Every structure is written in structure tokens, then in C-alpha cells.
Amino acid sequence: MFKDFIKNKKILITGGTGSIGSQILNALIGFKPKMIRIFSRDEYKQYKLRYKYSDISNIDFFLGDVRDSESVLVASSNCDLIFHCAALKHVPPSEEMPEEFIKTNILGSLNVKKSAIKNKVPITISISSDKAVDPANLMGLTKAVQEKIFSSHLLKEKTPGLKFVNVRFGNVIGTHGSLFPTIYHQFKRNKPLTITDPEMTRFFMSQKEAIDLIFWATIHGNDGDIVVKKMKSAKLDNIIKNFMAILNIKKSYPIKYIGIRVGEKKHEYLITEDNLYRTKEKDGYFIVSPYKSSDIDKNLIVKKTKTLTERNNFFSNSWKNFMSDKEIKKYIQSYIEEANGIDSIL
């Protein structure tokens, strides 16, 4: 279905040289869109992508920053679809340099929204994170605001024929600086394994699952929706245990406990308490509907038809959501195969 939908469309990917942006590009190529624009500020990564896809003629590269409204406006002209992936995403730097995260994640998202409206781009997909749920750090706060920026289109602008949809990720396995690469490369380089808290839990999804979520939301999401994959979670110590089993690492391997870092939470939720009453499930995805104008006019939350205990269904430390060892091993093996493939190329 998505292949037919995307054929002959003109697509912009902001942050198109990043982990998710480049994966979207790779997936889109086989669907034969009319044009794909890669928009990012990283000249070197653009050079590498130009080389990788040198035999494909329908990819254009735009150097620019989402902080620059004029650059975004030019890059999004005559587009049918925007995948907004540009973001600063690491928690510790967000606590140290909040202004930079505000400029990119909030003001940059405003520029994307305004440009999409001005250029009458029919669909914009915004990439968010479960860290936007009850945020404990600046990065999560900026993502929560980013979601509101795009969801508010239904309330305020109501531009006919345009829709803005948020997708909310868990931890995407294999992205730059994420957990799996950190563990794998510490083992591979015989470095002591650094552990924050062995009881810490996170929701996980593969890069393919992340792309599937984005593409599903593109077709099925309505204006203002937040779409979340129905993910499973795991404890940090279970992930490490299964890594050690697969790599034949001895139990005596040196481990350094560093404690929970600034801005980190021990556990995560997929939805907020407020989301709970506006959430439905379809095809393995949770869809959170936006506020409607009538909700704002009445200044009243709709009748709570669900209990707060049901929110535990969206809690990373709920036993109902835990992956089995078999499921964890499958993710690990897939990651190692992909990592070794990349290493062999480099």
C-alpha cells in the first residue's frame, strides 16, 4: 500500500543524513518517488550519501539548518510530504546546553510547520520520542513541545488538505549513541562495561520497526494524531546478560557502575495520563487523538472512561511488557549482523 502511495511523490527529509533520516531514504528508494530531498547541515555525511547513491538521479541534497526558516522554506517548496527527522536527541548535552536544543527541536520544528503551511505540503510527519512523556530532561521537554506544535494545527490553522502527524519512538536499536552500540563496542574493544542501573528499563524497537511506524502513520494518521508502536521493554541487566551469552563473554568481565545520569529516568511510559483517555489501538499501533476545538472551548477534559491503573499497560517496568530472552536475543543478533556489515564496508 505504501509503495503505491509514495510513487511519483516529492519528498523532503529534514535531518536526512542522520540515523533515521538515512534509513527513510534507503527505504524510499525502492518505492520510486519522483524526488527525494535530503536536508541537513552535515556536509560530510551528505558527501557520503552522494557517493553511496551516486547512480540514483532523483536524490537532491540541500545544505541547511532547520533553525533557518528561509532554508526550510526553500527546501520544502513543491513537496508532497515532509519527514521531519532533524533533532538534537542526547539527554546529557540537553541539560548542559538547553538553548541549543530549544533552537533546533522547538524553533526548528516551528520553521518546518510554517514552511509546510506556506508551501501547502499535504503531509508532515514529525519524529518524537517516549522521552516526551512526563519529561525529566530538557530533551524530552523539547520533544513534548514539538508534539504540541504539530498537533495544534487541527486547533488553530486548520489548513484544508494538510495534516501534521507525530510518531513517538522508543529506543531505536543501533542509532548513533544508543544502548546497543555502546554495549557491543565496549565488549568488542575489551573496555569495562559501563552500567547506569541494572534495573533500568526501556522500550525498544528496531530501525525497521521505526520506519514501518513512520510509513504507517503517513497513510493512517489523521491531522494532530500521535502514533506509537505497541512496543516491548527490557531491563538493562537482561540485555547485558543476553549480549554476554551471544558473544561468549565470561561472567567475570569487568563492569563499572556509573549510576543514573543527569536527566535520565529509571523507567519510561509510552503515553501520558492525559493521552490515556484519547488513545485507541489499531494494527499494533496506539493512536492518540488531539484535543478538538470543543475541548478547548469548554476547557474541560472529556469524561475519564479508563482507570489510571490501565496506564501500566504503557509502562516500561510492567511485567506485561517485558521481552523474553528469545526476543532480546533476536534484536541483539540482528544488530550485530548489521554492525558487522557496516564495519566490513568501512
Placement of cell 486547533 in the chain: 155
Q: Residue 72, exposed/middle/buried by CB under 10 A (0-12, 13-18, 19+)?
A: buried
Rounded Cα gap, residues 23 and 316, in angstroms: 26
Catalytic choice (89, 131, 229, 265): 131
> Which residues partner with 168 through β-bridges?
128, 228
Task: Let me know if 48 is a catalytic residue.
Answer: no
The answer to whether the beta carbons of residues 152 and 164 sit under 8 Å apart is: no
Rg (CA), the chain: 20
DSSP string of 294-338?
Answer: HHHHHT-PPP--S-GGGGGGGBTT-GGGBPPHHHHHHHHHHHHHH
Q: Quick one: which H or E segment has residue 183? A: helix 179-188
Which H or E element spans position 149? Answer: helix 138-151
For residue 160, give every residue at least 6 positions away whose Cβ sits within 8 Å of its Cβ, in sequence order, or none: none
Label residue 40 exposed, middle or buried (CB < 10 Å: 0-12, 13-18, 19+): buried
Cell triple for residue 35? 524526488
- Contact (CB, 8 A) for 22 and 52: no
Query: In angstroms, what CA-CA distances link 197 with 149, 169, 261?
Result: 34, 22, 10
Residue 58, all three cell numbers: 532523483
Task: Label the pairing between strands 232-235 and 193-195.
Answer: unpaired
Cα 10 versus chain centre, distance: 22
Catalytic amino acids?
A: 131
